[in-house]
Chains A and B, each alone.
Chain A
Amino acid sequence: MRARFAIAMLGLCCALAPANARSQGAGGEAELQPVVIEAPPAPGEADRAPAAATTVIDVASQAAEGRSTPELVARAPGAIVHSYGGPGQMATLSLRGASSAQCVVLLDGVPITNALTGTVDLASLPPSFLDRIEVVRGVVGPLYGPGALGGVVNLVSRPARGGPPAIDAEMRGGSFGTGELRLAASSGIGAGSALVAFDGLSTAGDFGYRPINATDDVARANNDARQLAGLGRFATPLGAGGTLDVLVQLERGERGLAGSIQNPSASDRLGDGRFTATGRLTQAVGPGAVELRAFARQDALDVTYASRLPLHELDTLAGAEGRLRTRVGHHGLSLVVRAAGEQLAADGSPDRSRPDLALGATDEWLLFDGALSVLPALRVDRIDRFAGVSPQLALAFRPTDALELRGSLGQSWRAPTFAELYLDQGLLTSNPDLRPERALGADLGATLELGPVRASASGFASEYVDLIEYELYPPFRAKPFNVGTAGIAGAEAELSARPRRELELSAVYTRQWTADLYDDVRFYQHELPYHPHHRGGLRAAWTASRLTAHAEAFAQSAQYLSRANTAAVGARVDTAAGLAFRPIAKEPIWLGAEAQNLFDVRSQDLYGYPLPGRALFALVRIATPQPEHP
């Protein structure tokens, strides 16, 4: 039995500076940051949750570091990313202890949760397309809809830029046969602006690991991955305060399913693809604005097994959303109406579709000259036969310009996935009698900004009921049942400082307490599996006109692998350091190198998936100067 992990973890992490802090850092230094964030970004969702604990990860300004999307998300407090095998391999998200299925991942506002698995593979999302990542934590269903029991990750694409043509190209290569090419070009077109981007990744993934009971390392086999992705974006003003923003993204990937250490797979393969399109029309109306958005997404999944029938799945989502924001006296009102439909076609099951309707309202009631905000929110959703109400009440108090105190109480729910309800395939069977999962949560937090120093801390507690868990259904299969109740509490802290204009230091720490509250003597008050007590890290970044450098270390404690709290996967530390420099002052060419897992720590993630040892990468980047204004 594992002893309770009580050591303090290294703190960690990352930039995490808010959007306004970012613009300060870049001020007047267009050359320092080849990709400038200056055009109005695509609408983030974080602005809709002023009382939620939100971390904004500036992806564009860290592009030279070559980190993957899962690695970037993992820099946020409250976020745990489970990785299944190294570069290009699947990685899933947990926010505030909620499972991947209990978190919403949005790509420019469009939910990209796979209907089959109920999860999002963060590794399938190229970071080179992203401007920033907003990690909103808490029971925020009233703001984001069903599924947001633990929080929301909103991936915000790079904006289309005006002005003369500009390019940003980067080529990387290094360990495990990994190579990546990233291209982005933007230009003004008439009154509008356009962006096209491409990302291609290939890796053999053949890092060394130690099989069970073996004395020597062997190379990971069938762990290769390839990924191609493209993005196109066009934005234009329409006059009279209106804008149109159209975005299309395509992604296609293929990779080996290498299996666990104990039972490696020699030939199982997975292919996936995603098409996402959004069109957004924004029109200023009086003191507010109206936003109309149409969206469509299609996900394809093809899995082939050496000794099982293949699995094919096509998930299609389309819908529209209207949002009105206005101000009436001391009230900032927002109304949202949404109508969408989702369809799943999968082997072994008839096609399934279900409507998704929502009506929600939020208010930001300013009192005491804006020092106190009262934020009630209510949303009603209906997904097929499941209907739910998600209420929330939040308070934000700003006694001084530097300090903000906030708290919220809310409830959210998650409808069972298509697979949980209907899909009998492979090892899984379905249960059409499932009920939605529900969560009730509260949090308290404070943010202090003193000059170049920003600190924030928050605590939370949530209760989850009717959790859907798979139970063995003999002799091979598993079937989902509403057999879980859990309590999760935690604390999160972030600290960032910019003692010099070029230097940014940051730290982040997360502590979680979990308890299985299901009425069963075998599990009651046990810890929940897959929930490390501690995660934290430190990060330092130097950004000057001809040199950038960074170093970071993240650590997380051990975590149980079963409700019985017996088997556990151990603690681990992830480290990285790198630098890039511009050898010729007048040329926009950067040369760089990055080292990951500096101390060659051999560790595993869940289910016995080994993680790669030390890795080295080199990069060449050409980034033409960007205009300061579109």
Chain B
Amino acid sequence: MKRLIPCAFLFAALAGCGNTGIICSDTEVRCGNTCANLQTNPDYCGSCGQACPTGFVCQSGACTCPSDLKACGQSCVNTQNSVANCGGCGQACPVGQVCESGTCKSSCSGSSVTCGGSCVDPTSDRENCGGCADGGGTVCGQGQTCLNGVCGSDLFAACYNSGELYALDAKGEVASPQKATAPPTNPVGLAFHGHDQLEAIDLTAASLYTFDLDGGFGASTSFAIGQGPNAIAISGDTAAVTNSTDGTLDVLGYATPGWARRCAGDAGCTASVNLGASTFPQYAAFGPDAIYVSLQGDTFAGGNPDTVGNKVVRVALADLSTQSTELNGLDLQAPDAGTQPRPQGLAYANGQVFVALANLAGYTAGAPGLVAVLDEPGDGGALVPHGQPIALGAGCVNAGAVLLNGTTLYVACGPQYDPVTYAPVKPGALAALDTVTLQPAFPPRPFACPSGATGCVNGGASRIALAAGKLFVGDTADGRLFVVDPDGGTLERGPDHALTLCPAPDGGFNFISDVVARP
């Protein structure tokens, strides 16, 4: 009706009245009667007329094999269990033998089962998920892996500008052509509620979208949150969303059929936790009894950042009361007084809160990226600084999001921005801190293009996820995912051969705002 009114009043050529047919997202093209992302769709890989051979996947617009498979002729093969290519292409096992761990054997060992001569674990094998493919099992699709005998994706990434959510197979390092069909507008944060519920917060829409992965990636419900949401953390059935524009924290509880605000004492269930004007809360992390929130303060306007920001707030889960800890007095290892802590990502472990300090002077890096350690006193009081902040090493500036895995805290650093134009002048990096020794676990790994690489753009670092034993880091310079070995920090997929997920809209720009692993 909305379009009929102007059309009726003048002529149909105006106001887009003649625009009929399917509407694709900004990053897709029309291929016949369907919309396709030519970067990831195996039926339209690189162009509308290009379909990948069976078993191949489409990655960055080219047909290829998943990273854990090998191309043998026109097939992608797992040489670890292929009876025809056991240990390598063309190395067939003798008749009657099976292939296990790249070796021909007379029978499969342990809990492995035989599927067409291959020894497979039906709880994790993509080609025989839940059982042999010819015996009731399933061949998982592109971007899916086998999770306890059920096909599904184990990694999800959000594209900010295009609003897309992508599902990935972390082991194969392949994105699914399937994405959220009712996407958010501009997703900035992802988190899982349980195993099957993906939550996405949307900056523009100021909404929390819930995707029930059991019910299809496209089905979603939404819940209104505060303005300027930045990050979401979930523990059990409680979610915490930082609203940077409003200066609030939304504490939500889940009860079928959806999320609702938790009550703060007698204040009713409609109010958010007020952290104050110009505080710009950034990240939230759960501890046993509290939610910890970093207050960046106002780097943009003149809101007196010295007093309203640069704090970590402890929000008690029992009554949502707040206690704040000042960070301004810490040694920022800065050459001048203009640098401020600007706390960002944080994590709780063993009675301590680890918080990354961007250490900014205005917008640009004023000093090295740091991690401050704060002790939880255990009496409901404010956190107490545990000594001085720890430098993450040369090459880490503008420390942001964190991921705690075991005793290692991974920190997304940078990039570094020009103080006038704010253009990135140095690439981002991944740093790591041993939370026991409080020493860097490995030197920061920059997302820099190899020397002489043409057409390569240095990467930034948005957020981090750990899946299939690999670290995936979102890129702020393009719609890419970098892959890093969590143990030594080796860059397995850097800017020159990263996973490309989020194509830029026509003539525009795109980046990955968050990436999250399925628990």
Contact = CB atoms under 8 A, between A and B. Distances in A.
* B is a partner of A: yes
Interface of A: 211-213, 222, 257, 259, 261-268, 305-309, 347-348, 424-427, 429, 433, 440-442, 444, 459-463, 471-477, 479, 481-483, 485, 487-489, 513, 515, 517-525, 527, 562-564, 566-567, 608
Interface in B212-230: 224, 227-228
A592 B161 CA distance: 54
Most buried by A among B161, B224, B248, B422: B422
A521 B24 contact: yes
Contacts of A268: 301-302
Contacts of B9: 459, 461, 489
Given A257-B302, A471-B505, A564-B185, 13 more contacts: A213-B274, A259-B303, A262-B247, A265-B302, A306-B304, A472-B160, A474-B462, A474-B511, A481-B505, A513-B5, A519-B24, A521-B183, A566-B206
A469 to B, nearest CB: 9
A521 B2 contact: no
Contact of B302 (A306, A433, A489): A306
A622 B464 CA distance: 71
A564 B205 contact: yes
Interface string B145-175: 0000000000000001101000000000000
Given A474-B160, A479-B509, A309 B362 contact: yes
Nearest to A212: B246
Interface string B14-30: 11110100011110000
| 7 closest residue pairs by CB, A with B | A306-B302, A489-B6, A487-B15, A517-B16, A564-B185, A424-B421, A213-B274
B202 interface: yes
A261 B226 CA distance: 14
B33 to A, nearest CB: 15
Contacts, number: 208
B350 to A, nearest CB: 31
Given A262-B246, A564-B202, A429 B302 contact: no
A307 B299 contact: yes
A5 to B, nearest CB: 13
A523 B185 CA distance: 8
Contact of A483 (B15, B26, B280): B26
Contact of A481 (B206, B507, B511): B507
B207 A212 contact: no
B509 A348 contact: no
Point out which of A263, A306, A517, A562 has the most chain B C-beta atoms below 10 A from its C-beta: A263
Interface in B276-299: 277-278, 280, 298-299
Contacts of B204: 562-564, 566
A108 B306 CA distance: 47
Nearest to B302: A306
A424 B421 CA distance: 5
Contacts of A265: 301-303
A482 B505 CA distance: 10
Nearest to A527: B2
A253 to B, nearest CB: 19
A472 B509 CA distance: 8
A438 B485 CA distance: 50
B186 interface: yes
A264 B5 contact: no
A158 to B, nearest CB: 38
B271 interface: yes
9 contacts: A265-B303, A267-B304, A307-B302, A424-B420, A476-B363, A487-B14, A488-B15, A515-B16, A566-B185
Contacts of A264: 277-278, 301, 303
A489 B301 contact: no
Contact of B508 (A305, A481, A515, A563): A481
B419 interface: yes
B160 A306 contact: no
B411 to A, nearest CB: 15
A243 B462 CA distance: 66
A472 B422 CA distance: 13
B161 A472 contact: yes
B301 A519 contact: no
A472 B183 CA distance: 17
A521 B5 contact: no
Nearest to A349: B421
Interface string B21-43: 00111100000000000000000
